[in-house]
Amino acid sequence: MPEPWYNAGRWVLASCRRDYDRNVTSQRPAPYKLGIVGAGQIARMTHQAAVKLGITPRLLAEEHDDAAALAAPHAVFSHPDALSAFADTCEIITFEHERIDLGLLERLEDDGMVLRPGIKTIRVAFDKMHQRRVLLNRGLPVPPFTEVRGPDDILDFASVYGWPMVIKSVRAGAPGERGAWIVESESEALKVLSEQGNRQLMVEGFQAIVKELVVLVVRRPSGSARCYPITEVIHADGVCKEIRAPASIGHRVATEARELALRLADDFDAVGVLAVELFLTTDGLVINELAARPHNAGHITIEGTPTSQFENHVRAILDLPLGPTWATAPAIVTMNVIGGFDRIDPTDHLAEALTVEGVQVHLYGKQPWPGRKLGHVTAMGDDLEQARDLARRAEAALNGRRAW
Amino acid sequence: MPEPWYNAGRWVLASCRRDYDRNVTSQRPAPYKLGIVGAGQIARMTHQAAVKLGITPRLLAEEHDDAAALAAPHAVFSHPDALSAFADTCEIITFEHERIDLGLLERLEDDGMVLRPGIKTIRVAFDKMHQRRVLLNRGLPVPPFTEVRGPDDILDFASVYGWPMVIKSVRAGAPGERGAWIVESESEALKVLSEQGNRQLMVEGFQAIVKELVVLVVRRPSGSARCYPITEVIHADGVCKEIRAPASIGHRVATEARELALRLADDFDAVGVLAVELFLTTDGLVINELAARPHNAGHITIEGTPTSQFENHVRAILDLPLGPTWATAPAIVTMNVIGGFDRIDPTDHLAEALTVEGVQVHLYGKQPWPGRKLGHVTAMGDDLEQARDLARRAEAALNGRRAW
């Protein structure tokens, strides 16, 4: 019965519009006309956190089945570059991805649009080459790197730092699009270069990684900031599989990581969540990447802390007081549910997963594609082994496997 | 700029439709085409819980600014009696209120529609006169009561049970519409009778209430059921102001209350949440009312237990395994945010409320009207005093008062 639904839709939209108009005429504070650029799972969970606080953000989606667009009433479907028209209907804009033209964002901020984070943070977070340079300028620990304008840059870099090296895209690609390649030789490097010729690339020295850590800082415009428990992330096949809190690191490294993250948030005037990805190498901490938005590693904060990264991001960008960020259990483990080549739909296996007592299951409503993040599960425990065991069983169940 | 939004709306709706069609063609299990009748704050929080599990329910809303309709993409606006057309687009239906014609629901179930709870539970929950009769038939503790067809019924009841007595509406009214009156004399009773002449009424004996308790049971179609920690509810001016868990009652009373609630859920084939409202009187427990849906007293379960009443309601009606229901803190207190005559908008006072460290603030996005439930706050503590103090401060802040 398409017609009744369509008619209903006219009402919905008319009602939405009135609601926003009402806000304007009743002089509600400006920051509550909130727009989120992007409509993936990060936006989906940010939207949920905002709704809890009585705020319904608008979303700039790209695809009709974007995870957040499936669950939110105010979604506009358009290319991210159509941001100006979207921004006209909002009074504050935040971002769930980095695929936006920087020049466009600069013009928006110049025109008086409130971007949170602002353009200074955005430039650092969105452009990995610029990011590396500003970190190096501040004497912070980064891998050796250089811009790639042609094969000569790679060969010269190899002559100093040797193989393997990491080729990276300077700007984020589409969801699921690969952005980094570990190459062992000249021929492998040139292959990547020719295949990715249309993207701006950089290389960096391969790091002897002991652990990968993520430190989440949330910061208000005034500068007050809080740090979440440091997480350890486990990758497989280039995808983040598992997130553990607390990270199994010593007190000294933890303090150093926290201080570094808080300093970076201050240095770049971050507002909202700043995710600092770190490598713990045999030579100490090295900064891998910064992301100026709620981060995949922070899914652990939904049940693992009193205030999720999503809620604190919303609070921070609206300049509201931040909530507590301590861990609510001795050990918390999140496992991502990644689509396989069998295209199993985890929704079909909810019943099996929910038999794992006490595991929190989050599904994003996405169609199952190989390599796509379809959901995550979080388990708490008295120690990491207990939490991991629960999370592993639920994740396996959602993917149609048995793990017990 | 109304036009772009309107156009965008066509896409949204088209996309929703496709999504549902996809589910049909890909043979997704039936229960995931879920419809919720009603779109108030209960539906809003049920919707959030379903979205977490990857399911986007459709809502049958009444008003364009219904709390859930503001936060959900699939809302149809119509009178509840237009339920048949709504039901055609769903495969399972649940309810957030009791204002629906029972005959219509009977016909829907006869036609093969899956109602959860089913018509047996609905009849008990929606019709308070029928509820009292079936409880009495089972020898369960209920106040003395009788149907009111005219003044004689009230006078005869008074000649046996004396004054005061409670006059009640047999069926639920609109949100905010009063449904019970304590009357002290014949003239007061006749006044209510003449004012409420168009409603079906009953009277019951006034109870010497020591405490008001609510026991929430959640039950799957197969009969497996779980009980939440018993809550104590505090009313003022006929509105629930405060919910405390655990209730300050002895072990014997708690056991009796739990067993009673589980028995009722079994007796009436409840599916989803059954809320059993009890009076603890000097003569023991008396059943006040049953509600076959997530309950206001259960807001405490969002942060106070590992699986909220909303998520367990969704799990139960989809026949999925239930999650744990134990208390996550020694003491949990929820205070409702009720609109005052000053029509203060709690959204305007978020900043003050969020300074109360660790309190969870939930706002429903509603326009502030006197007596309207606009949100709630929940605080955990090592004891009830600590939790109450935090909740009280946040609630006062949201209503523009200072409480510290």
Collapse the DSSP code of A287 into the 3-class scheme (helix H, G, I; strand E, B; otherwise coil) and give the result.
Answer: strand
- How much is the mean pLDDT over chain B? 90
CB contact under 8 A, B18 and A306: no
Candidates A45, A52, A360, A377: best to mutate against B (most CBs of B within 10 A) is A52
Judge contact between B224 and B312, C-beta under 8 A: no
Contacts of A367 in chain B (CB under 8 A): 22
Q: Which of B179, B205, B231 is the last residue of a domain?
A: B205
Average pLDDT, chain A: 90
Is the residue at A128 inside a domain? Answer: no
Q: Which residues lie closer than 8 Å to B264 by C-beta, 6 or more apart?
A: B140, B217, B270, B274, B276, B287, B290
Beta bridge partners of B180: B168
**CATH number, domain with residue B372:** 3.30.470.20
Q: Is residue A133 part of a domain?
A: no
A36-40, A119-123, B39-43, B62-66 — which is least confidently predicted?
Answer: B62-66
Q: Do B10 and A9 touch (CB under 8 A)?
A: yes
Judge: B64–A355 Cβ closer than 8 Å, yes or no. no
**Pairwise CA distance, residues A273 & A397, whole Å:** 32
Q: Is the pLDDT of residue B403 over 90?
A: no
Q: ipTM score here?
A: 0.90
Predicted confidence at residue B177, as pLDDT, reads 85
The minimal CB distance from A53 to the residues B13, B32, B350 is found for B350
Domain check: are B107 and B49 in the same one? Answer: yes
The pLDDT, as a whole number, for residue A24 is 33
Q: What is the pLDDT of residues B362-388, one digit of tens each?
A: 999 999 999 999 999 999 999 999 999
* Of the candidates B259, B245, B270, the residue with the CA atom closest to the CA atom of residue B326: B245
Residue A403 included in any domain: no
Average pLDDT over residues B133-162: 96
Q: Which of B206, B140, B209, B137 is nearest to B168 (CA)?
A: B206
Chain B residues near residue A26 by CB distance under 8 angstroms: 345
Q: Which of A205, A222, A241 is where one domain is finished?
A: A205
Based on the domain organization, do A192 and A61 belong to the same domain? Answer: no
Residue B161: which CATH number?
Answer: 3.30.1490.20
- Residue A263 reports pLDDT greater than 60: yes
Give how far Cα A243 sits from Cα of A229, A362, B233, Å: 12, 15, 39
In a domain, B133, yes or no: no
- Cβ of B9 and A11 within 8 Å? no
Q: Measuring CA to CA, which residue among A221, A290, A295 is closest to residue A260?
A: A290
Both A199 and A325 in one domain: the answer is no
- pLDDT band, very low/low/confident/very high, at B75 (cuts 50, 70, 90): confident
The per-residue pLDDT for B1 is: 26
Give the distance, in angstroms, between the CA of residue A294 and the centroid of all CA atoms in the same chain.
Answer: 5
Q: Are residues A188 and A223 in the same domain?
A: no
Residues in a beta bridge with B118: none
Under the banding of pLDDT at 50, 70 and 90, the label for residue A76 is confident
Do B53 and B94 share a domain, yes or no? yes
The answer to whether the Cβ–Cβ distance between B5 and A89 falls below 8 Å is yes
**β-bridge partners, B68:** none
The pLDDT, as a whole number, for residue B245 is 97
On whether residue A384 sits in a domain, the answer given is yes
Domain boundary pick from B205, B231, B253: B205
Q: Are residues A182 and A294 in the same domain?
A: no
What mean pLDDT comes out for the span A312-335? Answer: 97
CB atoms within 10 A of CB A187: 8
Determine the Cα–Cα distance for residues B323 and B208; give it in Å rounded to an integer.
Answer: 36
pLDDT digits (tens, 9 = 90+) for B225-257: 999 999 999 998 888 999 999 999 999 999 999
- φ/ψ of A221, rounded to 5, equals -55, -30
Domains of chain A: total? 3
Phi, psi of A209 (to 5 degrees): -85, 125
Range of the domain at B285: 209-398
Q: Helix A41-52 to helix A309-317 angle, to the nearest 10 degrees? A: 70
Please check the confidence at residue B10 and state whether its pLDDT lies above 70.
no
Span A7-62, pLDDT tens digits: 222 222 222 333 333 333 333 443 489 999 999 999 999 999 999 999 999 999 98
Residue B209 distance to chain A (closest CA, Å)? 34
CATH number at residue A54: 3.40.50.20
Residues B48 and B155 in one domain: no
pLDDT exceeds 60 at position A155 = yes
Residue B390: φ, ψ to 5°: -65, -50
My answer on whether A283 and A370 are in the same domain is yes
**A75 and A8 within one domain:** yes
| Interface contact A347-B28, CB threshold 8 A | yes
Would you say B332 and B379 are in contact if contact means Cβ atoms under 8 Å apart?
yes
Instruction: Please tell me the predicted confidence (pLDDT) of residue B238.
Output: 81
Do residues A288 and A340 share a domain?
Answer: yes
Which chain A residue has its CA at the smallest distance from B375's CA?
Answer: A54
Rounded CA-CA distance A92/A115 in Å is 6
Between these two residues, A10 and A178, which has the higher pLDDT value? A178
Q: How far is B73 from chain A (nearest CA, A)?
A: 4
Interchain pair A54, B324: CB under 8 A: no
For residue A336, give every residue at least 6 positions away whose Cβ sits within 8 Å of its Cβ, in sequence order, or none. A239, A240, A241, A242, A243, A296, A299, A373, A375, A376, A395
Residue A354: closest C-alpha in chain B: B321
Say whether both B193 and B217 belong to one domain: no
**Contact between A85 and B4 using a beta-carbon 8 Å cutoff:** yes
- Within B143-293, strands assigned E span 145-148, 165-169, 180-183, 201-205, 209-219, 225-227, 231-236, 239-245, 272-281, 284-291
Given a cut of 80, is residue A318 above it in pLDDT?
Answer: yes
The C-alpha of B235 sits at a distance from chain A's nearest C-alpha, in angstroms, of 24
Query: Is B233 within the bounds of a domain?
Result: yes
For A68-83, b where at least 16 C-beta lie within 10 A, e where not — what string? bbbbbbbbbbbebeeb
Q: Are residues B251 and B363 in the same domain?
A: yes
DSSP strand pairing (A34-37 vs A92-95) = parallel
